[in-house]
Amino acid sequence: MHGTVSEFGNRAQGNGTSRAAILEMSGLRLEACSVDVWTPIVHGINLTVHKGEVLGLIGESGAGKSTIGLAALGYARDGCRISGGSILFDGTDLNGCTDKKLRNLRGKRIAYVAQSAAAAFNPAHRIIDQCIEVPVHMAGRRRSQAIKDIKRIFGLLQLPDPESIGDRYPHQLSGGQLQRAMVAMAMAGHPDLIVFDEPTTALDVTTQIEVMASIRHAVEHAGTAAIYVSHDLAVVAQMAHRVMVLRHGAVVEEGEVGAILHDPRREYTKALVSARQTSHAHRPVDTDDEVIISVEDVRASYGKSPVLNGINFEIPRQRTVAVVGESGSGKSTVARVITGLLPPDRGVVRYGKGILPSFYGKRTKDELRQIQMVYQMPDTALNPKHSVRDVIGRPLEFYLGLDKVQREKRIRELLSLIELDPDEFIDRTATELSGGQKQRICIARALAAEPSVIICDEVTSALDQLVGEEIIRLLNDLQSRLGLSYLFISHDLATVRAVADYVLVMRSGDIVDFGSTDAIFNPPYHEYTELLLSSVPEMRQDWLYKLLQDRDNKKATDLRKRIAAT
């Protein structure tokens, strides 16, 4: 990341609005098809991107931001169509343009960076062959020339070993490397406009920073215009000159990044800007709390590879213990061990004073009932053919043996508890619910068993920010009403701060830091915790720039210290 800081500095002040427009959408309308009926999803958007300018598109899922991003390439996914308006790219209207003309523009003049590089790279071909496809096969440049060029771009994006990294297959690269390779692929054709579709959403915070920094560096270096689509305003604030806030397929507000952050006009934008600032009042930490679950010296592995290297912690009654860490840290494995899905190699899990059988099949119905789970993806955690009544009724029958009348009564109580109207929702199937409603049903299903502990595995990460916050509020509320204990697994530090009493920081199967939430989130920090905390994007325009500068300075100081020592 050295040597890039000064360029960021220049950019933070600059903007390109005085330059000519490269893309102009006017009155753009898109429709989506469900069961043979076309419903409008984007209602007449006007959007302009100038040469060398980065425009941020922000909104929740269903706001139409990705659809608009794709429309900038004259493309609509299966089941979608561009139904009106014009998309002028450098004078050519992409709406109603022939396929041949579109193919001629795509890749060479307008490029796309997908959300999941792991899925968007073809598993059957080497990275370099995919990266030079546009220059060699579409633009007809010489292969040797294109290879030389792409290696230079690999270097520009700070990929390790730019000379040979392209010879690998997609599965041989890490998530962050793949995402940068995809940016390199987009830049290979030297396009005038790149559409970035949530390019860092699937990454860990520390990796996200590296990718954000290299994207910014590369885009700045090439002078390319870009549309940067994201659901995270803090991320967009680092990347874009101008921001457009979208909701339900219409523009809520548009303006310079600074203006949107500091002086939002509309309620919705204000909610987005303040979203991360909620916090819950932590009850004082008390060491005499009764312990519900204790995990003692647990080692676990998948096959031969160790995942947990002997961890110890306790979950007290009516408390929330959060487990944070990046992907691969073993945080979900903790949940699998406690629920008995993965029997540990060594160590025990206790419920109260008694040792729980390590394999769930050996546990009694009552032991199973005490520990319930809520999963990350409410879409896949609910059977789409079952009604809400079936979903919640099943644990009532299985664990508590309630008859039909009692069940019906209890299902209605539970629905009221999770703030859904029983009359309206009891007969719906999962497909008739929104993401947040589905997650509420999953919580009700866990509550139905009347457990003392609920394990929440990334319960808000598949949800939009504002919806996620509602779920967190509900969980906090249920805890104080029902005296539940939570094990809250998350990679999102802001959310953890809002729910947890205690925090465990995990890294490669070890607990590296543990303490009350106040202790963890206030100095003095553990080194790794500090890295995680400082990597969470903040709602300041110069955040990334300052952070990288700080880290560079720190490196320089360390180096100087070392030189002085010798």
**Which parts of this chain interact with another protein (CB under 8 A)?**
70, 73, 75, 77-78, 102-108, 111-112, 114, 116, 119-125, 133-134, 137-138, 168-169, 171-172, 185, 189
Nearer to another protein, 82 or 134 (CB): 134
Nearer to another protein, 72 or 548 (CB): 72
Q: Are 285 and 307 in contact (CB under 8 A)?
A: no
**Shortest distance, position 135 Cβ to another protein, whole Å:** 11
Q: Are 339 and 360 in contact (CB under 8 A)?
A: yes
**Shortest distance, position 126 Cβ to another protein, whole Å:** 9
**Shortest distance, position 303 Cβ to another protein, whole Å:** 13
Nearer to another protein, 105 or 213 (CB): 105
Nearer to another protein, 110 or 494 (CB): 110
Round to whole Å and give the CA distance between 442 and 386: 13
**Shortest distance, position 84 Cβ to another protein, whole Å:** 22
Nearer to another protein, 78 or 267 (CB): 78
**Shortest distance, position 206 Cβ to another protein, whole Å:** 21
Nearer to another protein, 168 or 526 (CB): 168
**Shortest distance, position 180 Cβ to another protein, whole Å:** 15
**Structure tokens, 328:** 């691969």
Give which of 406, 485, 500, 392 is closest to 443, Cα–Cα: 392
> What's the helix, strand, coil split of the chain in %, to 5?
45, 25, 30
**Shortest distance, position 313 Cβ to another protein, whole Å:** 32
Name 88's Cβ contacts closer than 8 Å, sequence gap at least 6: 23, 24, 25, 26, 94
Helices (H), 62-142: 65-71, 99-105, 117-120, 127-131, 133
Round to whole Å and give the CA distance between 388 and 415: 9
Phi, psi of 66 (to 5 degrees): -65, -40
- In the block, residue with structure tokens 């679950």: 293
Q: Are 470 and 477 in contact (CB under 8 A)?
A: no
Give which of 318, 320, 290 is closest to 456, Cα–Cα: 320
Nearer to another protein, 137 or 142 (CB): 137
